[in-house]
Amino acid sequence: MNEKLRIHELLNATDPLSEIEISGWVRTRRDSKDFSFIEINDGSCFSNIQIIADQETTGYDEIQKFSTGSAITVTGKLARSPGKGQKWEIMATSISIIGGAAEDYPLQKKRHSDEFLRTIAHLRPRTNKYGALFRIRSKLSQAIHQFFNERGFFWIHTPIITGSDCEGAGEMFCVTNLDLNAIPKKDNKADFNEDFFGKQAHLTVSGQLPLESYCLSLGKVYSFGPTFRSENSNTSRHIAEFWMVEPEVAFADLQANMQLGEEFIKYLTQYTLEHCGEDLEVFLKFVDKDLLSRLENIIDKKFSRISYTHAIEILQSSNKAFEFIPSWGKDLQSEHERFLTEEYFKQPVIVSDYPEAIKAFYMRINDDNKTVAAMDILVPKIGEIIGGSQREERLDKLSTRLQANNLSEEDYWWYLETRKFGSAPHSGFGLGLERFLMLVTGANNIRDVISFPRTPKHLEF
């Protein structure tokens, strides 16, 4: 019986193996008169393995069919390779085609632009770079669970279909099973009483509100799943469907929240450097020459901390020609965030205590009655990577904030009850997984770090 192995196992072998079987996709094939070299990759790791087949190999008469992109199975011996740069190769006893690749297989040549590969998102994971990227993405997702598990957090699965707007920004996709060509109407408006849930439903923009009720029960919790935003911003940092990690901690204030956010980013960065070896190499060598020093800079120093008010002063006295003039009361634009973290502090910076009017209703109002206990973590090349706050735990103040934001207490009755029964200070934040992947790989476009990106006017796959 041949033992079925994957390339990452074969490459770690300590001794030759006599009867092995391996399956994968052909990357290249070189033929000489009497034998052929076939390089295959099975996705288990960055490296390919070389197969040597000759007239003695069963199936060799069909060697012309083993074109780039074909799926094949090989049996043979794992032998020490005399060639440079590879420790092991396979001397094939048999080779067979599982699925041939037609002549117009688009990944024939080695290098393609990211823009082109986006148009074939169903095939791009077969390239070296994207294979590496999606292995890093998977490892980081595991590391996220590890980080929280080590610290006693519980993973809560918050719903994706929601009846409330967490961020109050109205950037939500509607979920309905009404016939859109014959929408039932009442007083000339769509009658959602007739809809599936008997009320308007949306895809969630954040798991935070339901998570808060579990935080005030289980103490330390997090959610990690897809979130959806219909904001029509066609930038390199926004997508309509992305994955957010959201911790929420009871009896924790804004300072503790900042501390957790900083620790989390450092842990994940360190993890990437320690565990993503060959896959990370691609990005360090070919994508971004400054990547390593940027990652080390994240781990080495304590993040800077400044208030929003101070940030505005820095921006105003910078003499920099911003497109949007910074002024107290206006939200920080991406260009402002990047100036602060890249040029002024030259390292990650946590900006806190934003004006109440530009932040969500659930953030805790400060004693000055003008600012809220919010914090954003800004990092070089990305800008905002984490957004979070201490939550308003005082029932009367929360009611006032809801009213000020034109949100009805009726809709948020259950959220208000968490403040009525055993309320406690608590804090949390959200980190966009894709933004983090951009940070650690140096990828310039968020569309390139998620399998099938969803953006305005684009739903190809």
Contact positions toward ligand 4AD, by CB under 6 A?
Answer: 166-167, 206, 208, 229, 231, 238-239, 242, 244, 246, 384-388, 428-432, 434-435, 446
> Which of ligand 4AD, Mg ion, none does 435 bind, CB closer than 5 to 8 A by kind?
ligand 4AD
Using the minimum distance from each CB to ligand 4AD, give the nearer residue, 39 or 246.
246
Which is nearer to ligand 4AD, 131 or 207 (by Cβ)? 207
Q: How far is the CB of 241 from ligand 4AD (least distance, A)?
A: 8
Q: Least CB distance from residue 163 to ligand 4AD, whole Å?
A: 16
Q: Give the pairing type, strands 71-80 and 174-175.
A: unpaired
Q: Which stretch binds Mg ion (CB under 5 A): 124-132, 195-203, 381-389, 414-422?
A: 381-389
Interface stretch with Mg ion, choices 103-111, 282-290, 326-334, 380-388 (CB under 5 A): 380-388
Q: Quick one: 231 or 253, whose CB is closer to Mg ion?
A: 231
The answer to whether 23 and 61 are in contact (CB under 8 A) is no
Q: Which does 206 bind (CB under 5 to 8 A by kind): Mg ion, ligand 4AD, none?
A: ligand 4AD
Least distance in angstroms from the C-beta of 222 to Mg ion: 18
Please state, in angstroms and as integers, the Cα–Cα distance from residue 207 to each residue in 66, 133, 227, following that order.
48, 26, 8
What is the closest distance, in whole angstroms, from the C-beta atom of residue 384 to Mg ion in the complex? 6
Q: List the one residue from 387, 425, 428, 453 that touches Mg ion (CB under 5 A).
A: 387
Q: How far is the CB of 321 from Mg ion (least distance, A)?
A: 25
Shortest approach of ligand 4AD to residue 224 CB, angstroms?
11
Binding piece for Mg ion, criterion CB under 5 A, among 32-40, 220-228, 345-353, 382-390 = 382-390
430 lines the binding site for Mg ion (CB under 5 A) = no
Can you tell me which residue has the tokens 């201490």? 390
210 makes contact with Mg ion (CB under 5 A): no
Q: Which is nearer to ligand 4AD, 9 or 411 (CB)?
A: 411
List the single partner that 135 binds among ligand 4AD, Mg ion, none, CB under 5 to 8 Å by kind. none
CB of 330 to ligand 4AD, least distance (A): 17
Q: Which does 166 bind (CB under 5 to 8 A by kind): Mg ion, ligand 4AD, none?
A: ligand 4AD
What is the nearest approach in angstroms of Mg ion to the Cβ of residue 376? 6
Q: How far is the CB of 169 from ligand 4AD (least distance, A)?
A: 8
Show Cβ contacts of residue 214 under 8 Å, excluding neighbours closer than 6 positions.
154, 156, 221, 248
Residue whose CB is less far from ligand 4AD, 135 or 435: 435
Count CB atoms within 10 A of the CB of residue 168. Answer: 17
Residue 388 touches which of ligand 4AD, Mg ion, none (Cβ within 5-8 Å per kind): ligand 4AD
| Interaction site with Mg ion (CB under 5 A) | 387
